[in-house]
A and B are shown apart, each in its own frame.
Chain A
Amino acid sequence: MASSHGVARTIRIRTPAQREADKQKIAVYRDLDSRLLALNASPYPSPAFADPSVLALTAEVLSRNPEHYTAWNVRRRCLTCGSFSRHSPGPSPSAPPGTSWAPTTPSPSSAASSPSSSAVTRPDPASQCPPPSGPSGTRPDPAIDPATDPATDPATDPDKTLRSELQFTFPLIRANPKCYWIWNYRLWLLQQAINLLPAPVARRIWEEELGLVGMMLNKDQRNFHAWGYRRHVVSNLESPALAGASMAEAEFAYTQQKISSGLSNFSAWHYRGRLIPQLLTERGAGDAERRAFLDDEFSLIRRALDVGPEDQSCWYYHQFLVSNITSASSRLAIAPNLPSADEVSILRHEVEYIKDLLEDYDEDIKLAFEALIDHILAIARLEDRETTAEERGELATLLAKLRASDPMRKGRWDAFEKDIGLSPSR
């Protein structure tokens, strides 16, 4: 493997029988792979990609090797030239059987405009594609053979194709939850749903996808791909293309549920923090409501810290809440118009809480020492004054505790000490 994670090291001595078995496996795989790559060398778009046997070939390769990115691309090309190529119902009567067309090579300038952060506005790749043709290379006449009319043939119905494609990738993504290519392929399929299907049908497919992401996050609460994917799915479900509306409330509730089942799930805390500004805007929250919201969040994180006082995830969320008070960035603001006296009193309250927490625990909690330092400095800054002699004494004590409990980061404590010493007001 090019990159193996968590696989125990073993001495691998193959028996002659195993070697023979490997040889067979390699021969089968190489044959599939070389057929796939040979086909990929043919001009695109071309009727060759619409042949159902090619789709089957990619499936053979991908089920053995879901990391084969070119096979995923070939699969996209198959669909783009096959059942996704029909963008208006029914065949075009102006296309005579055996119509030939010149393959178009996208120019560099047209490629420049294709990558787009807004999946909704991405040009439809299917529009570049020719109509599907029969295995002989000519199009069947729908008047003669209605069974193969693309308008009624299930094999070319984009809705059915999409669903069968999503089904195809499902076991692969379950077995390989960290494989970028499968996630990307699914997103591409979902984008095709928007491009090719009526909005309500496409919306149902995207809603089901949210269910899948939920399932993946139940299996692995921190799966980075799955969280990113979730944000993408949600933003599409919220978009006008899917006749959507904000899902901030539902997603906020989702983070609550994830946090309840695992306090150290920082991915959920992160998402929660990101949702709050949007949520409050949508609620039309006034200053009082915002203040109450902030208080509630502080209560929530304090309850979490009571359970996991050494958990970095909880302390980071605490830091995030505090940064809403101490940082000027309005992007983060939960309660942007707090009077500065209130800001100070909130911080003082947190200082008391953290000191109590330290008393309740026998062990040193280095993250609590750090938080106290942050709070003391922030209070002085909010009050627009130098730190007092008493505060400086407290800072020195805390720093000594940090040095003792966390010698790994000695260099940081040195830099920090110099920093406070040089400018006591900060």
Chain B
Amino acid sequence: MTGHAEKLPEELKLVTAAHVKYIQSLDTKEDEYDYWLTEHLRLNGVYWGLNALHLLGHPDALPRDKTIEFVLSCQHPSGGFSAAPGHDAHMLPTLYAIQILVMLDALDVLEQRGAGKVQVGQFVADLQNRATGTFAGDEFGEEDTRFLYAALNALSLLGLLSLVDVDKAVEHVVSCVNFDGGYGVSPGAESHAGQVFTCVAALSIAGRLDLVDADKLGRWLSERQIAGGGLNGRPEKKEDVCYSWWVLSSLAMIGRTHWIDREQLIGFILRCQDSELGGIADRPGDMVDVWHTVFGVSGLSLLNYPGLEPVDPVYCMPKASIDRVMGR
């Protein structure tokens, strides 16, 4: 073990070039056991990496054609996508596939070479529980507000929200709210920052942010920042870079990012970088991964860190991509 944390330079800077190199290197580690153990996350990883690259201002750092080929190789006749060829289709990789194609301005390939947009939308829509409004991740029925968000996100990018009962979905989100203003994974579950993000973003897509008690929620969210500048996901838990996204994007959606300390959060995220080899970790000195890398970079983008492309707080994608696909 080396003391990377102690070796950080006095003046912290985002090591953009190293991050780009790190993300590019991810698909070259076929001689490492972990590369194969994480195959079930491959498509997810492409979205995380590609999104980070867009925000870092290097949208072309991954080969476009090869990326599209890979996405299409994960599609099933049902319209859904799996995380890698041969794996089962699931809500999450289906969302990631759409997000990747939107970032690459390549949604058309769904019509030209895939199962068609409507088929993809139908796969997502069929996972709605019409009685409660919430969504399952796959045919085996696990329900979670994560999947509800993923569904509304995916369908709105495809322009197919009409395939589902949005009002019922909104009702379900509202039933997940707690006295502290936060949201849980299902009605009755404890507030959790990740779940707050999915619920507030879902309400935002549905055009129902008026249902959020912004002061109450903003208070709970702002208390997630702890000594050292990082954010945690629940009371009395440790800080973690991924919450830089979930807490901060939620604050952004309710117009309250100024309720936490910007400089301190920037400092925390930058201290989590591997400044030599690139990538961002959950906490300073830990192993980096692409997941924390994208959420660290997205967090910095929301904080208007210089040199980064603006991120959309609802979709966790470059704002320019969202503007384009929504015709804004």
Q: How far is the CA of A327 from the CA of B135 in the complex (A)?
A: 30
Closest B residue to A263 by beta carbon equals: B236
State whether B39 touches A4 (Cβ < 8 A). no
Q: Does A161 contact B (CB under 8 A)?
A: no
Taking CB atoms, residues of chain B closer than 8 Å to A117 are 129, 131-132, 134, 143, 186
Interface secondary structure of A, over-half rule:
helix
State whether B127 touches A115 (Cβ < 8 A). yes
Known: A7-B287, A112-B126, A327-B179. A40 touches B190 (CB 8 A): no
Taking CB atoms, residues of chain B closer than 8 Å to A41 are 86
> Which of the listed residues A3, A33, A116, A312 has the most CB atoms from chain B within 10 Å of its own CB?
A3
Q: How far is the CA of A19 from the CA of B30 in the complex (A)?
A: 12
State whether B143 touches A29 (Cβ < 8 A). no
Interface contact tally, CB-CB below 8 A: 199
Q: Does A267 contact B (CB under 8 A)?
A: yes
> Which of the listed residues B41, B45, B82, B259 has the most CB atoms from chain A within 10 Å of its own CB?
B259
Known: A312-B236, A323-B179, A412-B219. A22 touches B260 (CB 8 A): no
- A-contact 0/1 string along B106-134, CB 8 Å cutoff: 00000000000000001101111111101
B229 to chain A, nearest CB (A): 8
B238 to chain A, nearest CB (A): 8
B45 to chain A, nearest CB (A): 6
Known: A2-B289, A227-B190, A264-B236. A8 touches B142 (CB 8 A): no
Q: For chain B residues 155-197, which have a beta carbon within 8 Å of chain A?
A: 178-180, 185-186, 188-192
Known: A112-B125, A188-B140, A316-B235. A409 touches B37 (CB 8 A): no
Q: For chain A residues 245-266, which have a beta carbon within 8 Å of chain B?
A: 264, 266
State whether B286 touches A9 (Cβ < 8 A). yes
Taking CB atoms, residues of chain B closer than 8 Å to A37 are 86-87
Q: How far is the CA of A4 from the CA of B292 in the complex (A)?
A: 8
Taking CB atoms, residues of chain A closer than 8 Å to B90 are 69
Quick check: which of A60-68, A137-145, A385-393 contacts chain B, the rest being far away?
Answer: A60-68
State whether B287 touches A270 (Cβ < 8 A). no
**Interchain Cβ contacts under 8 Å between A and B, 26 examples:** A1-B287, A2-B290, A4-B281, A4-B282, A4-B287, A6-B286, A7-B287, A9-B2, A11-B2, A23-B31, A25-B33, A34-B86, A40-B86, A67-B40, A70-B86, A108-B122, A112-B126, A115-B128, A115-B136, A117-B129, A117-B143, A184-B140, A224-B190, A227-B189, A228-B189, A266-B235
Given contact pairs A228-B189, A316-B180, a sample of 6 additional A-B residue pairs in the complex whose CB atoms are under 8 Å apart: A8-B287, A9-B287, A11-B2, A40-B88, A69-B40, A117-B132
A residues lining the B interface (CB < 8 Å): 1-11, 19, 22-23, 25-26, 29-30, 33-34, 37-38, 40-41, 64-65, 67-70, 73, 76, 106, 108-109, 111-119, 122, 180, 184, 187-188, 222, 224, 227-228, 231, 264, 266-267, 270-271, 273-274, 311-313, 316, 319-320, 323, 327, 332, 407-412, 415
| 6 closest Cβ pairs, A-B complex | A115-B136, A37-B86, A411-B258, A312-B235, A3-B291, A408-B261
